[in-house]
Structure formats: C-alpha cells, structure tokens
Amino acid sequence: MKKGEPMSEWVEFLDTTLRDGNKLPFVVLSVGERLALARQLAGLGVDIIEAGYPAASAEEREALIQIAREVREPYIAALAKATPQDVETVAEALAAAARPHLHIFLPISEVFLRGVLGKSGAECLATIEQSVRAARGMRVQFSLAEVGEAEESLLLEAAQAAAEAGAQVLSLADTNGCLHPERVRELVGRVRGVLKPEVLVGVHQHNDLGLATAGTLAALEAGARHVEVTLSGIGGRAGNTPLEEVALAIQVFAPRLGLEHHLHLDRLAGASALLARLTGVPMHPNKPVLGRQAFESGRGADARQALGERLRGLLDPRTIGKVEDALFSDQAISQAGFIQHLAMLGADTKGVDLEKVYRLFLAQVRRKRVVHLSEVQAMIADARQETTSPYKLESFGVMTGSHTLPVGSVELGRGAERLVQSSPGTGPVDALCRAVDKAVGLKPRLLVYSADTVTEGLDARAEVTISLSFLGKVFHGRFGSTDVIEASLRAYLDAVNRIENYRQANPEETPREFFIDGDQLWWE
C-alpha cells in the first residue's frame, strides 16, 4: 500500500465445503477425509471452517468434534437451528474448539414461517432472540435464509433482533440463488443501515443462475465484510459461491474495493486437488481460476499483454500454486535414494507409508520409464488415504473384444484364504467388479465412476474414483495406474474394503438413509 492511500478493510471468509459443499448426495466424506480437508483449509488461511451440522447424523457430530480438537488456528463453526435446545447441543459439540463459532440459521420467508413453523412475525423475532441468548461464551453468527422471498420489513426487524441479542455476525442467505446482484447490494445496504457498525454483515449465495460470485462482490461493495464460500463452488444443485473466484477478484479489483483477505492463494491448487481426489469430482478444464485452461493464453496474439503488469501477475498459474511439472525419475532407484529425492524436492510425506509409495513408484517406472513429480505426489496422496485392506488383489485377468462378451476373473486374498471368481459384464471393468462382488459376497450400488489423468500422453497415469452405496452409506475407493482397467478394479476393491471395515466395526448396522440435508430437519 502506497503512502497516502486509505487503509484496506479485511474480508472474513467462512468456508462451508464440509457442510453445504457436502450436499451432493454422492459426495459423503468420511471423518478422516473431512479432517484432511479441514487441515488443508486451515493452511489455506480460511478464517472460519464450518465443519458440519451435528443434528444431521452421528457421523457429522463425530467429524465436528475431531476437527474442533485437532484444527486450532481458524474458528471452527457448526450449524444449529434457531431453537435453544439445538443451540445448546451444538455448543457442547464445539466445546473442544480453540475458537468456537456457533452458526444459527432460520429461513425467514412467509411460506416457511407460517407453512412449516406455524409462527407469526412476532413469534419469529422471539425465536431469534431466545436462540441467540442460549449461546453463551462463544462467537455467534445468525443467518437469515430465504431472504429473496422474505418481506423486507420483517427481514430488517429480524436482523436487529439477532444483533441486539448478541450476534456478532449477521448473514443473508439467498437460499434459492435467484437474487439479482443489484438486489443483494440493496438488501446488504439496508440491513447495515439498521445495525451497529461493529456487527459484521455477510452473504451466503447459491449459484443457480451463475450469479453467486457477482452477488457476493455486490455485497462487498455495499459494505458486507463476511462471505460464505466453498472450494470450487461445490454444493447442492448448482453449487455455492466459489472461494477461489471471490478471493482472486478481491485482489484483481483491489483499487476499486480497497479490501484484503487472509488467504494464501498459492495453496489453492493443492486444496483443489485434494477436494477432487476425495470427492471423485474432477475440475472442469474451463472452471474459472482452478481449471486447467483458466490461465492459458490463446494462439496468435496474446491479449494478456494489454493488461497492466499487476493484473498479468495475478492472472498466472503460479498465483494459485500451479507449477510446471518436473521429471522425478526415468529409471528405477533404490528405496533410500527415492526417499532422499522426495526430501530434496520438499514433498510432504508426513504420516505416509513411504515403502508403499516406493512400491507404487517401481510399478509405474517399469511400465512407462518416465515418472513425473505430479505422479509421485498422487501416489503419496493415495498412500495417505489408504485404509486397512481385508481383501488384497493377488491377480486378475479379463477377456474382451468387439464380438466377445467381456469376462473378468479375480483372485483375492483374505488372510490365508484365496477367493477366486469370474463373471461376465457389459465391459471389462464391469466384469471385474462383478467378479469381486461374487468373491466377497456383497452387492453394493455404484453411484459414481470418474477417471482423470495427472499428466498428458497415452501413457498418463489414470486416477480413478469410485463411490458405492451400501447400508444407506456412501463409500469411496481410489487408485491410480497407467492401466485404467487395473486402476478401476483396485479403486472398486478399495471401496469394497471400506465397506467391509465398516461392517466389522458395526455388526448390528441395518440399512438406513445416511445422507440428511440439514435444512430438511425443520420438517420433522
């Protein structure tokens, strides 16, 4: 900042990837996966990590408590309905957090208040006051949902009631994603006009019309200083406001906005890669900021040269932590040499079985000779997420052709026992997965199959993610290999092993619906 320029104001980022971002029915993260993502978000510099909605399930509560215990730098938030009982329950779950942030919400549209809760406007205000006062000794945020469908007079009264009861943050949620950015600007301005300056006003936008980032920027221009986002905009329906778009826009438009944030943009690429790996949802190549093509220059004249030096520097892959891939090795090396090379390159190997990573490296270098650093990093990520494996793949084979019914065969080991089965299928991968089902005696339902590559070329390493539904729960499996059929089979077996581990830990479990959209609990 140059001498004489006005002081910048800071924008508080609440990341709700672990709660609102988890609303895709086929993306249900385990406790360990949520913890890994929470650590990544903390390293990214997020101010508040919304870790879940404890009332939704035992898993949500368990994940929240573990994150609260182990992630200490940012505020850890949890969502609560606007009832004293729910607030007290969530406050108990947040007790382990170094910096607890209790997030209370209430839809404020007439359809919800009268049709669902059966309450008048006056009763709604009393509900808000009681719920905020029930949260003692911690930072409180109150979110008014369905603001686009609410009566403005009641909205302003509700905002005042929450602030006067002690809420430090007042957020407006465009639940249906249908507000015009100019209307967002108007509402933020009017709400700020009835609140004291020390109350932070924020927004929570949904992207149904592709306007989430535009609406959030309009809110910032109107004086909002708290934004709610998810990594890559992941979430239900069309998703939420993408963290990376708002963060970069604040810097791009710094001369106009005069705002700053605490995020480390150079860690965005790593956070995005982890999210894609955990969810199995690859990034679209044209996704703003994070997509592979986001900062690529077109052929012919480079229009970027027309930009000033500051903007050219920001609109660069290095801004978000993307670096050119480097050659790791073009020959087999000893395990000691492999570990030394990892250390020299600064690879994060904390808590990783390096012997496992070395075996994956040897298997790949024998197949394609040249192994890049990005591929080794993917192997490290695979090893970090690896689970205990009741079933091990000893061998497999598949016969297929243009005029032949595909048939797959597998040999699995479980202790000293050998399980051998074969099965036809609609394709080679389907045949092998059906053979696994026959061998282990399970029949899960396939929800998601996704394959992506780490590098380019015909010999690129395929990263396969598979999501299976069993007992009303979702289990993910992942594996990477230059052989896409092998990667698919091992990813499927990884998911099956997670199912088996869960069955052993919960022998009395009966089928039930695991995923619960927290908002729907109001209807009970």
Question: Do 339 and 396 fall within a single domain?
Answer: no
Give the mean pLDDT of 152-161: 96
Look at 207-211, 259-263, 358-362, 442-446 and tell me which has the smallest mean pLDDT.
358-362
| Domain assignment present for 153 | yes
Question: Do 362 and 397 fall within a single domain?
Answer: no
pLDDT higher for 391 or 28? 391
Give the mean pLDDT of 74-95: 93
Question: Do 367 and 222 fall within a single domain?
Answer: no
pLDDT higher for 380 or 216? 216
| Domain assignment present for 14 | yes
**End-to-end CA distance of the chain, in Å?**
53
Question: What confidence score (pLDDT) does residue 505 get?
Answer: 77
| Domain assignment present for 321 | no
Domain count, the chain: 3
Conformation bin of residue 286: beta by default, left when phi > 0, alpha when psi is -120 to 50: alpha
pLDDT higher for 141 or 381? 141
Q: Are 222 and 189 in contact (CB under 8 A)?
A: yes
Question: Do 379 and 420 fall within a single domain?
Answer: no
Backbone angles phi, psi at 462, to 5 degrees: -90, 130
CATH of the domain at 81: 3.20.20.70
Backbone angles phi, psi at 393, to 5 degrees: -80, 115
Q: Is the dihedral of CA 481, 484, 485, 487 positive or negative?
A: positive
Question: What confidence score (pLDDT) does residue 5 get?
Answer: 47
| Domain assignment present for 166 | yes
The residue type found at 494 is D
Question: Do 259 and 331 fall within a single domain?
Answer: no
What average pLDDT does the structure give for the chain? 87
Give the mean pLDDT of 234-261: 95
Give the residue numbers spanning the domain of 433. 392-505
Q: Which residues 6+ apart lie within 8 Å of 334 measured at CB? A: none
Question: Do 141 and 190 fall within a single domain?
Answer: yes
Question: Do 354 and 238 fall within a single domain?
Answer: no
Whether residue 360 is predicted with pLDDT greater than 90 in this model: the reply is: no
Question: Do 179 and 269 fall within a single domain?
Answer: yes
The residue type found at 155 is L
Q: Are 25 and 279 in contact (CB under 8 A)?
A: no
Question: Do 378 and 400 fall within a single domain?
Answer: no
Question: Do 476 and 412 fall within a single domain?
Answer: yes
Whether residue 190 is predicted with pLDDT greater than 60 in this model: the reply is: yes
- Render 503-522 in DSSP notation, one character per residue: HHH-TT---------GGGGG
Residue ending a domain, choose from 318, 352, 384? 384
Question: Do 248 and 358 fall within a single domain?
Answer: no
- Render 198-253 in DSSP notation, one character per residue: TSEEEEEEB-TTS-HHHHHHHHHHTT--EEEEBGGG--STT-B-BHHHHHHHHHHT
CATH of the domain at 460: 3.30.160.270
Look at 259-263, 341-345, 414-418, 464-468 and tell me which has the smallest mean pLDDT.
341-345
pLDDT, tens digit (0-9, with 9 covering 90-100), for 438-479: 999 998 999 888 888 766 667 677 888 888 988 777 888 888
Percentage with pLDDT > 90 across the chain: 55
Strands ordered across the beta sheet of 445-453? 445-453, 462-470, 473-481
| Domain assignment present for 128 | yes
Question: What confidence score (pLDDT) does residue 455 get?
Answer: 66
Question: Do 234 and 350 fall within a single domain?
Answer: no
Residues in the chain: 524
pLDDT higher for 403 or 199? 199
| Domain assignment present for 483 | yes
| Domain assignment present for 310 | no
| Domain assignment present for 106 | yes
Question: What confidence score (pLDDT) does residue 3 get?
Answer: 41
